[in-house]
Structure 1
Amino acid sequence: MDIRLEETRSGGRYVATIDGHEAEMTYSRTSPKLIIIDHTGVPDALRGKGVGQALALHAVEEARRGGWKIIPLCPFFKAQAARHEDWRDVISG
């Protein structure tokens, strides 16, 4: 699955486009070393295909590479983080 990053000055989003449908995970950057994941949106056409999970894992891998932490405000991401103890190295709060 190809996931791309779209950045703005104060945050950004990870986007996966599959069969013409777009799923996203948005975040706000509070500092160079901390982001807040605040929303995951997966259209009905992509539900059950692991797209949300792939976006969450991508965010975790990016945090590890970038040396930053994630505050999980998004209910979906927060639930995924609770299921994955191996993500605790990048989860804050």
Structure 2
Amino acid sequence: MELSVRDNEAEHRFELVADGQQAGLAAYRVRDGRTVITHSEVDPAHRGKGLGGELARLTLDTLRDRGARVVVSCPFFVRYVEQHHDWDAILEDA
């Protein structure tokens, strides 16, 4: 499965694309120069394939590559970063 994430700035969300179809999203807002991840979801047709974790990984990788400071308030992303510490350097408390 080919996966990518694109930043839909107009809608304030990162969109997970799986084999050319949108499979999930991570909504965000920018506040005080920080990107706050507020909500995420995977389309029901794509659940059970580990795509939530891929959405989190690709979104956080993109933000790290941009040099962004990130706050996670989405419960899924909170659990994800508690279990995966690759992005500790970019994370901030709310």
Given the two structures, how large is their TM-score scaled by the length of structure 1? Answer: 0.83
Residue 75 of structure 1 aligns with which residue? 75
Q: How does 1:1-93 map to 2 (within 5 A)?
A: 1-8=3-10, 12-18=12-18, 20=21, 22-32=23-33, 34-93=34-93
Cα distance in 2 for residues equivalent to 1:57 and 1:73: 16
Cα distance in 2 for residues equivalent to 1:23 and 1:46: 8
Cα distance in 2 for residues equivalent to 1:64 and 1:18: 21
Cα distance in 2 for residues equivalent to 1:16 and 1:59: 9
Over residues 13-54 of structure 1, what are the superposed CA-to-partner deviations in whole Å (9 max), with x where a residue is unaligned? Answer: 11124475531111001133x111000111222112121111
CA contact (8 A) 1:21 1:46 kept: no
Identity, in percent, stands at 28
Number of matched pairs: 90
Where has structure 1 moved over 3 Å in runs of 4 or more? Answer: 17-22
Pair 1:82–1:21, CA change in 2 (3 A) = same
Cα distance in 2 for residues equivalent to 1:52 and 1:5: 16
Given the two structures, how large is their TM-score scaled by the length of structure 2? Answer: 0.82
CA RMSD of superposed structures (Å): 1.8
**AA of the residue aligned to 1:7:** E
Runs (5+) with no aligned partner, structure 1: none
Runs (5+) with no aligned partner, structure 2: none
